[in-house]
Amino acid sequence: MLLRVASFPTKTSILLPFFCKSSNALFFHSKRCIYISRNYTSMTIIYNAKNQPKSLVSMARKTTHFSTTSAEALLQSSTNMGNRISRKKARRESPEMILRVKLDMCSKNGDLAEALRLYNEARANNVQLNVHHYNVLLYLCSPKSDSGEEDGEDFVRLDKGFQIFKQMRIDKVEPNEATFTNISRLAAAKEDPKLAFDLVKQMKDHGIVPKLRSYGPALFGFCKKGMADEAYEVDSHMIDNGVLAEETELSALLRLSSEVKREGKVYEMMHRLRATVRQVSEETASTIGDWFRSKRAAEVGAEKWDVRKVKKGVLEGGGGWHGQGWLGKGNWTVVRTKMDEAGVCQSCGEKLVCIDIDPEETENFAKSLAKLASEKEARTNFAKFQEWLQRHGPFDAVVDGANLGLANQHTFSFPQIMRVVNQLRQISPTKKFPLVILHQSRVSGGPAQHPNNKKLLETWKRAGALYSTPQGSNDDWYWLYAAVSSKCLLVTNDEMRDHLFNLLGNSFFPRWKEKHQVRIKPSNNGLILHMPPPYSLVIQESEQGSWHIPTVTGDDLETPRQWVCATRMRSHE
């Protein structure tokens, strides 16, 4: 038995016009409701008629109720969507949003004049400015450069910036970190680092945690003026707030300490550079060289020292430094040099050391790496890989298959991976296959379909030496975790500098990479494995008091890395 009910009850007929904002919308919703009632309702009735015979009256009531509920739900959904669209449109067309868009364009173009015109116009029209509006204006009022050379135009910009900040406070607009940083820059540009530092201190009253950039205007301002004690106070404030100085800040403090002849602070900054930066920029290398060539550097240092105490300091520090202060007296010889393959300085003949990594640090790093990977990857996929690794590992080496297969190639090369795998197997103490990590797409399509490559992949699979990462995954997490957890070599030319690796921090990871990364170099005879150096690429202080500072110039792959070698002309016997 077939029955169709396509009528709307009185209640829906009354409500429908109120939900619709136009005749077109009314027509659209009417068509939708008729479609539902004609098609979906009829199907329901046919089903009921075949399986559960009921009276026509009861079926009509049930169908009418269904049509009423469905129509009202549909109309309510459409109304909510319409309201959301209206609210978005209202926000987009509000004076505040229009001002924001225009100010952002001024910021992009560096157009202060137009920004100030918009600001004055907005105030005249009683447009309510928020923290973003003010921050853009303050940013545009900041000096164009940090040269410190100001002209009349710069003074106008700075004064206008302070006026805007004053108005912001009058309007009781709550500042944020960007606000304080911008106004601190204005203060430093007016050569008032004290005000810049006072502004940083005020951030705490507003519940704002300072960032490294927040301290820059005050710190560099004090350094520029030669105000050492004040600069050290800023540095202490940074440490107290958990803000770590980077190379630019440490280099500025080292230069200042050298200029004011505070050798103890120079020594401190040298070791903080060692712990934080490892390889220094050319600018920092120049600053370090200037210190060692200075008259003060020749005058300071112990002529006699406790050798046992120095050796103990080296042992407790893990090697490469002792921390007992400047050793020896007399002028320094400062030269640019390089190291041979064994880590022997080609200038003074001293052999650099390989600084150990604490096994506990490695374990903790592996755990934090697994946690990060599980957050970024599908948790089940990475957990499955960890289980697989426990069954088949540990390995003596891990190969970043994608990086190696494309090294110096236009197309993906499995034979190239095979040759490196065979080399690694030959030098392995266990003669075990290294683990090859490849994305699923690499092992299922393209060159992988070639018979020889298929046979090669099957060989690796049978040996438990191939893992294919699933679709949608980032294989970087997999090969890095495998190498760290196996405490083994990692073969890749990936510099590991992108955002993924930035998540790992700059404390342990650079040290681990330096000791475990095997890079590959093309040659006429194929790829050459460039093993990790037998010494640490970090500032080293010897037991005799000499210093070796690695720079960022050179990479020991294409060109030798440059080092600064500083030794006393008269050494301790």
pLDDT tens digit string along 273-297? 998 888 999 999 999 999 999 999 9
Specify the pLDDT at position 150: 52
Give residue 523's pLDDT band: very low, low, confident or very high (50, 70, 90): confident
3-state secondary structure 446-513: HHHHCHHHHHHHHHHHHCCCEEEECCCCCHHHHHHHHHHHHCCEEECCCCCCCHHHHCCCCCCHHHHH
Q: Looking at residue 434, what DSSP letter applies?
A: P
Mean pLDDT of 537-550: 95
Distance of CA 183 to the CA centre of its chain: 26
pLDDT tens digit string along 403-427? 999 887 778 899 999 999 999 999 9
- Which of 159, 99, 103, 107 minimizes the C-alpha distance to 125? 99
Asked if 127 contacts 95 with a C-beta cutoff of 8 angstroms, the reply is yes
Mean pLDDT over each residue of the chain, to the nearest integer: 84
pLDDT > 80? residue 15: no
Specify the pLDDT at position 9: 45
What is the rounded CA–CA span in Å between residue 219 and residue 232? 8
Give residue 543's pLDDT band: very low, low, confident or very high (50, 70, 90): very high
Q: Map tokens 């970090």 to a residue.
A: 538
- Which of 68, 61, 538 minimizes the C-alpha distance to 321? 538
Q: Looking at residue 432, what DSSP letter applies?
A: P
Specify the pLDDT at position 1: 38
What is the rounded CA–CA span in Å between residue 420 and residue 518? 11
Give residue 488's pLDDT band: very low, low, confident or very high (50, 70, 90): very high
Mean pLDDT of 136-155: 69
* Cα angle: 481, vertex 484, 490; to 5 degrees: 90
Q: Which residues pair with 517 in a beta bridge?
A: 490
Specify the pLDDT at position 318: 82
* Cα angle: 275, vertex 278, 284; to 5 degrees: 105
Specify the pLDDT at position 373: 87
Q: Write out the H or E segment, with its range, that includes residue 528.
A: strand 526-530
Distance of CA 220 to the CA centre of its chain: 25
Give residue 542's pLDDT band: very low, low, confident or very high (50, 70, 90): very high
CA distance to 208, 386, 406, 434, 452, per residue, from 459 (Å): 58, 22, 21, 12, 11
- Tokens for 286? 């120049």
pLDDT > 90? residue 61: no
Mean pLDDT of 70-93: 69
Specify the pLDDT at position 38: 44
pLDDT tens digit string along 441-483? 999 888 989 999 999 999 999 999 999 999 888 899 999 999 9
Specify the pLDDT at position 90: 66
What is the rounded CA–CA span in Å between residue 160 and residue 112? 10
Q: What Rg, from alpha-carbon coordinates, does the chain have?
A: 35
Give residue 528's pLDDT band: very low, low, confident or very high (50, 70, 90): confident
pLDDT tens digit string along 184-216? 999 988 899 999 999 999 998 889 999 999 999
Q: Map tokens 């069954």 to a residue.
A: 391
pLDDT > 90? residue 307: yes
Asked if 361 contacts 510 with a C-beta cutoff of 8 angstroms, the reply is no
What is the rounded CA–CA span in Å between residue 423 and residue 72? 72
pLDDT > 50? residue 4: no
Specify the pLDDT at position 186: 92
pLDDT tens digit string along 159-184? 999 999 999 999 999 999 999 999 99
Q: Flag the least confident range among 232-236, 378-382, 462-466.
A: 378-382
* Cα angle: 545, vertex 548, 552; to 5 degrees: 160
Specify the higher pLDDT residue, 206 or 356: 206
Q: Beta 397-400 vs 435-439: how paired, if at all?
A: parallel
Specify the pLDDT at position 541: 96
Give residue 573's pLDDT band: very low, low, confident or very high (50, 70, 90): very low
Specify the pLDDT at position 465: 95
What is the rounded CA–CA span in Å between residue 482 and residue 400? 10
Specify the pLDDT at position 74: 64
Mean pLDDT of 384-397: 94
Number of other residues whose CB lies within 10 A of the CB of residue 140: 24
pLDDT > 50? residue 66: no
Residue partners of 204: CB distance under 8 A and separation at least 6: none
φ, ψ (nearest 5 deg) of residue 527: -85, 135
Q: Map tokens 């919703």 to a residue.
A: 29
Number of other residues whose CB lies within 10 A of the CB of residue 270: 20
φ, ψ (nearest 5 deg) of residue 34: -65, -40
CA distance to 141, 152, 195, 257, 471, per residue, from 221 (Å): 18, 20, 10, 14, 52
pLDDT > 60? residue 572: no
Give residue 151's pLDDT band: very low, low, confident or very high (50, 70, 90): low
Specify the pLDDT at position 393: 87
Asked if 541 contacts 547 with a C-beta cutoff of 8 angstroms, the reply is yes
What is the rounded CA–CA span in Å between residue 336 and residue 461? 49
Number of other residues whose CB lies within 10 A of the CB of residue 449: 9
Specify the pLDDT at position 67: 54
Mean pLDDT of 38-62: 44
